[in-house]
Amino acid sequence: MTELDKTQTDVSRRMLLRGAAVGGVGLPLLAACGGGGGGGSSDPSSSDAGSSGDSGAGGGKITTADIPVGGGTVLKDEKVVVTQPAKGDFKAFTAVCTHQGCLVNKVSDKKIICPCHGSEYSITDGAVLGGPAPAPLAPKQVSVKGDQISVT
């Protein structure tokens, strides 16, 4: 083995050990900063703590009675949140937080709440009210026929 080969081998070993040390320390720290939701998991949405949290309604259809005035309901399966900012005024937004893709899990105090990192959105227009979210919730189309609400 020449002196040059020995130097290259030593550098490679150093790089390997340095990489292992960084990975061994850095990866757990990144995981700890990533929150409890796994980035896109719907687990956080299952910890509903609000009275106007999630609904078991399927197919994107719910009744007007399911949506309290000044509140809303999260439809986990459809990944949609439906709100009623004022009597008879129904709005719908994606339930996927714009911060890290967690599902919002409740509507409380006229705010749509994400459990992962505390982002808060307006029930009126989905605008960011607080937290790390970089953008508002995307609006969805709402139609009301009688007491049935459809979201597309």
Residue 134 backbone dihedrals phi, psi, to 5 degrees:
-85, -15
The terminus-to-terminus CA distance of the chain in angstroms comes to 69
Please, what is the average pLDDT of the chain?
Answer: 77
pLDDT of residue 140: 97
Which string of DSSP letters, residue by residue, matches 89-132?
EEEEEE-B-TTTSPBP-EEETTEEE-TTT--EEETTT--EEESS
Element (H or E) spanning 23, and its range?
helix 3-33
Over range 96-120, report the average pLDDT: 97
Look at the pTM and tell me if it is higher than 0.85: no
pLDDT digits (tens, 9 = 90+) for 40-57: 333 443 333 333 444 434
